[in-house]
Structure 1
Amino acid sequence: MLQAIGLTSAPRRGLPAAVDDLTLEARPGRVTALLGAPGSGKTTALRLMLELDPGRGITYFRGRPLHRIPHPAREVGVLLGDVPGHPARTARGQLRMLCAAAGVSVARADEVLDAVGLAGLGDRRIGALSPGMDRRLALASALLGDPHALVLDDPAEGLSPREAGWLHELLRAHAARGGTVLYTTTDSREAARNAHRVIVINGGRLVSDQGADDFSRTRLRPRVAVRTPHAARLAAVVSREARVARRSVEVVTEAGGRLSVYGSTCAEIGDTAFRYGLPVHQLADEIGGTDPTAPMEPAGAVKPAASVECVGEAGQERLTAPTHSTGHADLAGHEGLMARANPTGRGGAMGPVRPAAAVPPAGPAVPAVPVDGEGVGLSRSVVRSSSPKLPPPIRRRPARGPLHPLRYELRRMFGVRTAPLIMAVAMVLSVGLSVLLARIGHTPLPKTLAAWPSLLPLPPAAVGAGILGALSFGDEFRYPALAAGRGTISRRPGLLLAKLAVSAGVAVVLALAVVLASAGALRVVYGPDPIDVPPNSVSLCVGWAGLTVGCAWAGLLAAGLFRVTTAGVAAVLAVPVLVAPLVRKVLSTGPGSRPAVGLPGRLRELMWPSWPHETDRWVAAAVQLVAHPVGAALSLSLSVLVCAYLFTGLHGRVRWRSQSGVGPS
């Protein structure tokens, strides 16, 4: 069961709240439609339920708010907009990545693809999917965790009638298994046809909450749809003949030469048009709505009559209901008015109805909006003797990290061809530069194998590793996949460590592949002459791997800090171009400088217990690596980026706790 109580959005400055004290309920085993015109607050209400927007109120999913559910994807399936995936990723790859985020088996991806009718299109890219297929993929993403509740925002938008029919069959099947379905729509006829219960909102407030049968009886009625170039003349003729025959006929003029005639038939309208020589381009029987989501302006003027007023218990509320002589067939014959009001979301019957003149006014009234099932407009002005307790605040909560971050990151990186393509380009450039440097003959062997001429600030392998690291976070912020509608991804330590580990592994593999490919290319081009291995080959390999890993981490942290891939690439290139010259000036030896000779031995004397003498060589290699201008610049840049990343993450968490009023336990 889904219960939303007192949902109120945080209004923008100078504007009314998009959702105002909205209370509704969606029961299990039923499909509930949230009906409203565009801008009525439907999407905002869903975002408040899912704690995506700040405001007030609380929503219970089977008795628990969303932030207290350990695995939300297994309780609530969400569809808000399109699938936020990389357009080059396949449908199956996208779902498998989300399986790792939701903590479900990878086999679930194929199951939901088959359930939504995309079993044969799993290898098609997201960017090549049609709107109907994209909507099916979005629904498959919502069904991944086998949730109990489905919360969908206009799921049939842009679908053909056949696809929309399939979608609603799927929703009814989910409800038949005991699930809860709540979806928004703007089509009253579609809501009455496919939902078990219809909740109407207007201006962010509850208008009516009815079963589908009651909604159809009170809100929908047959009409004749007419399209003619002489709409005004035909409307006048039909109205005049109805008055002469004393029949209850209502003519509603719409845009584009259209008429909606209530209380008549196609034969009568066609005969009338024929008698007066008026051409008719369309004449069809339809079902028209009288709910506020499809306002209709009658051809004649509507004259207001006396208003009535409902007074609640102890004078807590006053409802004013201005009545109108509209001529609607479904409004005729009503002698009184029965209304319910619920300012706190807990229910309560109103008192007797009496004329408005019997009760003095109590402040300005809210503009009238229909709230009952009979189309009578009610406006509420609340007079409280004491200040009631406000509903709890809703804070925009940070996105959750994936339950299997390492698996998620591997599928994210290798789910598209970007990473293999970047690695292939870096290897081709490195091999070409190595062959060219060996032909010139003035470059040392280590730099020849690494393809690092003195003219380049960084070798191609290091730049490629930096780009891959920048894409690890920048790609996520551009195509968020962890949570629908949040806009940004989680910055939790688990996901960060997974990204650091995967990017480091890819950088080491790229560095090793470049060296081996360069050595093989030199052997093929210049003969099988053996390559002299330098005595410090181990330290050189460690330094080479450290350079590529450092560039990958610099790009990753900068992209995560500034939330854009370009910032990560700029941070990698800034290391040799900007930071390294400054470090070189600081570390440059002068007449008064003292070299750090014998540092490993002195460090071994200070340590307890002391390390073995063989470790001195590794310490000396590490000191030599850091003392290199590029190594020192990279170390300095990584230190600054790590501190800035941790500071921004901690600052954001402290600010969220202060806004939410969460103190230390």
Structure 2
Amino acid sequence: MLQAIGLTSTPRRGIPAAVDDLTFEARPGRVTALLGAPGSGKTAALRLMLELDPGRGVTYFRGRPMHRIPNPASEVGVLLGDVPGHPARTARGQLRMLCAAAGVPAARADELLELVGLAGLGDQRIGTLSLGMDRRLALASALLGDPHTLVLDDPAEGLTPREACWLHRLLQARAARGGTVLYTTTDPKEAARAADHVVVVDGGRLVADQDAGDFSRTRLRPRVAVRTPHAARLAAVVSREARASRRSVEVVTEAGGRLAVYGSTCAEIGDTAFRHGLPVHQLADEIGDPGSIVARGGTSPAESAGSTERADPADPANSGGPANRADRAGSDSGAGPRDPRPVAKALGPDPAPPIRRRPARGPLHPLRYELRRLLGVRTTTLIMTAVLVVSVGLSVLLARTGHAPLPKVLAAWPSLLPLPPAAVGAGLLGALSFGDEFRYPALAAGRGTVPRRLGLLLAKLVVSAGVAVVLALAVVLVSAETLRLVYGHSWVHVPPNPVSLGASWVALTVGCAWAGLFAAGVFRVTTAGVAAVLAVPVLVVPLVQKVLMAPGSRPVAGLPARFRELMWPRWPHETDRWVAVVVGVVAHPVGAALALSLSVLVFAYLFTSLHGRARWRSQSAAGSGQAS
């Protein structure tokens, strides 16, 4: 069961609250429609229920609020807006990545593609899907964890009648299995036809809470729509003739010279207008819109229009205005607007606790999620292929001149370039690791970007480092084989210090990948990550060189031996070589600059993370205070 109690959004300055003390419930085994005109507060209510926006109130999903559910994907399936994801990712790849985030087996992706009718389109790119296919994929994303409750925001928007019929059959099947389904809609006819229960909201407040049958009987009454330049005069004439003939007729004046006449026919209205010489520009039968018959301020629209209506003793629901009849019908059926006071007493002195905006949880399997994020698009393959092609070309050109040393030739690092192509490519892949997350959120829609959780950060560091190492080794091996093919076997040989050179080469590519990753995480854009990578040799290296080459600076020779003297227990003498390699890498101007840049980016990342959490908490507290 879903219970929403006292939902109240935080009002903005000069703008009333989008949701004002909204209380209703959606029972298991039934499809509940949250009905309202655009701007009535439906989506805002869903965001409050899911703790995406600050405010007041509480929502229980089978007795637990959202932040108390250990694995939300297995309890609540959410559809807010379009399905998130990189447009170049396939539908199957997107669902498999979300399976890793939700902690469900990858085989669940194929099952859902079959369920939503996309089994033959699993390899289709998200960016090429039509609107109907996109909504089907979004529904599959909501069903990944086989949740008990579905919360969908206008799922039939933009669908054809056939697709909408399929969607409603699927929702009815979910409810028949004992699940709870809540969806929003702006179409009263659709709500009456497809839902078992209808909750009507207007201006963020509850208007009606009825079964679908009672809603259809009391809210969707036939009416005659009239448009005339003399609306007030025609309304008075129709009301006067209805009183004279003792007929139950109600006239509601609407904007733009429109009248809604209940209890009459087009022929009667046309004859009346003809007898009194009143021009009529429109005369048509319609099904009543609940938004036009909602009583506001305790006065029915009939009273506000100055019309009269006599009670029909054959129908007890016809006593009073249409809004009064609807509320009475809902009350008689046991599904009318509920008094929140008993709920308030059960909750204690504060029936509307503050709703704090809580960030989304990280993926349950972060390493698997990150691998699928990296390999799910062609960008990774294209970048690595471009790096290999450029590196091989530069290596051949450098070997042809004969002036560059062998390590520079194998790394394809001419003196004119600030960094070799492999380092730039690793930095770009590292920047995309966080940059794509901010551009194409991969978790639940409406949850914003992927949160900065430690597990996800470690997974990104491990994966980006692994890709950098693979790229560095591939460049050296492919360049060496190409040089042997072009210039002969005798040209390429093993350098005298391969361990030190290999460690420096791997450290450079991994450091660039991490620099791009942290910079993109701090500035939330891929370009910032690439700029941070290029800033290391262009800006930081000259500064480090000035410090290291300053007059009076002392060398660090003999540092491993002095470290061994301080350590207890003593490490073996073979370790001195590895310590010397590490010290040599850090002592190099590029290594020192990269280490310095990484240190600054790590501290900036931690600072922005803590600052963001503190600001989020202060905003939530401020929003709760304003709502109270």
Q: Same fold by TM-score, threshold 0.5 exceeded?
A: yes
Instruction: Give runs of aligned pairs for residues 308-347 of structure 1, distance below 5 A.
Output: 325=307, 327=309, 332-334=318-320, 342=339, 344=341, 346=343
User: For 2:310 and 2:183, how far apart are their aligned partners in 1?
Assistant: 30
- Is 2:566 the counterpart of 1:606? yes
**Relative to 1, partners in 2 of residues 1:14 and 1:235: Cα closer, same or farther, differing over 3 Å?**
closer
Do the aligned residues in 2 keep the contact of 1:33 with 1:182 (CA within 8 Å)?
yes
Do the aligned residues in 1 keep the contact of 2:38 with 2:186 (CA within 8 Å)?
yes
- Is 2:460 the counterpart of 1:463? no
Counterpart AA for 1:148: H
Residue in structure 2 matched with residue 355 of structure 1 by the alignment:
none
State the shift of 1:257 in Å.
9.5
- Is 2:556 the counterpart of 1:596? yes
Instruction: Give runs of aligned pairs for residues 485-496 of structure 1, distance below 5 A.
Output: 485-496=446-457
**Relative to 1, partners in 2 of residues 1:271 and 1:159: Cα closer, same or farther, differing over 3 Å?**
farther
User: For 2:302 and 2:21, how far apart are their aligned partners in 1?
Assistant: 30
Deviations 1:493-533 (A, max 9, x none): 10000000000000111111111111122122223334121
Which one of the candidate residues 643, 661, 665 is aligned to 2:603? 643
Do the aligned residues in 2 keep the contact of 1:36 with 1:292 (CA within 8 Å)?
no
**Relative to 1, partners in 2 of residues 1:344 and 1:581: Cα closer, same or farther, differing over 3 Å?**
farther
Look up the SS of the partner of 1:634 in the other structure: helix
Which one of the candidate residues 588, 602, 616 is aligned to 1:628? 588
Look up the SS of the partner of 1:346 in the other structure: helix
Deviations 1:585-640 (A, max 9, x none): 000153x2322221111111211122222221221121111111111000001111
**Relative to 1, partners in 2 of residues 1:9 and 1:71: Cα closer, same or farther, differing over 3 Å?**
same
Residue in structure 2 matched with residue 438 of structure 1 by the alignment:
399
Residue in structure 2 matched with residue 571 of structure 1 by the alignment:
532
State the shift of 1:118 in Å.
1.0
Residue in structure 2 matched with residue 532 of structure 1 by the alignment:
493
State the shift of 1:93 in Å.
0.7
State the shift of 1:344 in Å.
4.3
Counterpart AA for 2:193: R
Look up the SS of the partner of 2:522 in the other structure: helix
- Is 2:511 the counterpart of 1:550? yes
Residue in structure 1 matched with residue 92 of structure 2 by the alignment:
92
Instruction: Give runs of aligned pairs for residues 405-420 of structure 1, distance below 5 A.
Output: 405-420=366-381
User: For 1:656 and 1:153, how far apart are their aligned partners in 2?
Assistant: 25
User: For 1:577 and 1:239, how far apart are their aligned partners in 2?
Assistant: 84
Deviations 1:267-302 (A, max 9, x none): 767899999999999987542234458899xxxx96
User: For 1:546 and 1:63, how far apart are their aligned partners in 2?
Assistant: 52
State the shift of 1:227 in Å.
8.7
Which one of the candidate residues 491, 498, 502 is aligned to 1:541? 502
> Any stretches of 5+ residues in structure 2 without a counterpart?
332-336, 622-628
User: For 2:85 and 2:237, how far apart are their aligned partners in 1?
Assistant: 56
Do the aligned residues in 2 keep the contact of 1:249 with 1:264 (CA within 8 Å)?
yes
State the shift of 1:333 in Å.
3.5
Residue in structure 2 matched with residue 484 of structure 1 by the alignment:
445
State the shift of 1:195 in Å.
1.0
Greater RCO between the two (CA within 8 Å, min separation 6)?
2
Do the aligned residues in 2 keep the contact of 1:21 with 1:343 (CA within 8 Å)?
no
User: For 2:505 and 2:154, how far apart are their aligned partners in 1?
Assistant: 54
Deviations 1:147-177 (A, max 9, x none): 0000011111111111111111111110000
State the shift of 1:216 in Å.
1.2
User: For 1:160 and 1:329, how far apart are their aligned partners in 2?
Assistant: 41
CA RMSD of aligned residues (A): 3.3
User: For 1:303 and 1:33, how far apart are their aligned partners in 2?
Assistant: 29
Counterpart AA for 1:479: Y
User: For 1:224 and 1:293, how far apart are their aligned partners in 2?
Assistant: 13
User: For 2:26 and 2:411, how far apart are their aligned partners in 1?
Assistant: 63
Look up the SS of the partner of 2:32 in the other structure: strand
Instruction: Give runs of aligned pairs for residues 131-146 of structure 1, distance below 5 A.
Output: 131-146=131-146
User: For 2:237 and 2:207, how far apart are their aligned partners in 1?
Assistant: 35
Residue in structure 1 matched with residue 626 of structure 2 by the alignment:
none
User: For 1:100 and 1:491, how far apart are their aligned partners in 2?
Assistant: 17
User: For 2:484 and 2:294, how far apart are their aligned partners in 1?
Assistant: 78
> Any stretches of 5+ residues in structure 1 without a counterpart?
306-323, 349-386
Do the aligned residues in 2 keep the contact of 1:154 with 1:185 (CA within 8 Å)?
yes
User: For 1:129 and 1:259, how far apart are their aligned partners in 2?
Assistant: 43
502-511 or 525-534, which deviates more: 525-534
Deviations 1:155-203 (A, max 9, x none): 1111111111111111111000000011111111111111111111111
Residue in structure 2 matched with residue 401 of structure 1 by the alignment:
362
Deviations 1:122-161 (A, max 9, x none): 1111111111111111111000000000001111111111
User: For 1:255 and 1:418, how far apart are their aligned partners in 2?
Assistant: 54
User: For 1:180 and 1:650, how far apart are their aligned partners in 2?
Assistant: 37
Residue in structure 2 matched with residue 3 of structure 1 by the alignment:
3
Residue in structure 2 matched with residue 125 of structure 1 by the alignment:
125
User: For 1:163 and 1:256, how far apart are their aligned partners in 2?
Assistant: 34
Do the aligned residues in 2 keep the contact of 1:9 with 1:19 (CA within 8 Å)?
yes
State the shift of 1:231 in Å.
10
Instruction: Give runs of aligned pairs for residues 101-250 of structure 1, distance below 5 A.
Output: 101-224=101-224, 247-249=247-249
State the shift of 1:99 in Å.
0.2
Residue in structure 2 matched with residue 317 of structure 1 by the alignment:
none
Look up the SS of the partner of 2:19 in the other structure: coil
Q: Percent identity?
A: 79
Residue in structure 2 matched with residue 509 of structure 1 by the alignment:
470
Instruction: Give runs of aligned pairs for residues 59-78 of structure 1, distance below 5 A.
Output: 59-78=59-78
User: For 2:311 and 2:511, how far apart are their aligned partners in 1?
Assistant: 76
Do the aligned residues in 1 keep the contact of 2:252 with 2:302 (CA within 8 Å)?
no
Do the aligned residues in 2 keep the contact of 1:23 with 1:345 (CA within 8 Å)?
no
**Relative to 1, partners in 2 of residues 1:225 and 1:132: Cα closer, same or farther, differing over 3 Å?**
farther
Residue in structure 2 matched with residue 314 of structure 1 by the alignment:
none
Do the aligned residues in 1 keep the contact of 2:207 with 2:294 (CA within 8 Å)?
no
User: For 2:310 and 2:396, how far apart are their aligned partners in 1?
Assistant: 88
State the shift of 1:650 in Å.
3.2
333-342 or 103-112, which deviates more: 333-342
Count of residues in correspondence between the two structures:
601
Counterpart AA for 1:604: R
Quick check: which one's helix share is greater?
A: 2
Counterpart AA for 2:35: L
State the shift of 1:206 in Å.
1.3
Quick check: which one's strand share is greater?
A: 1
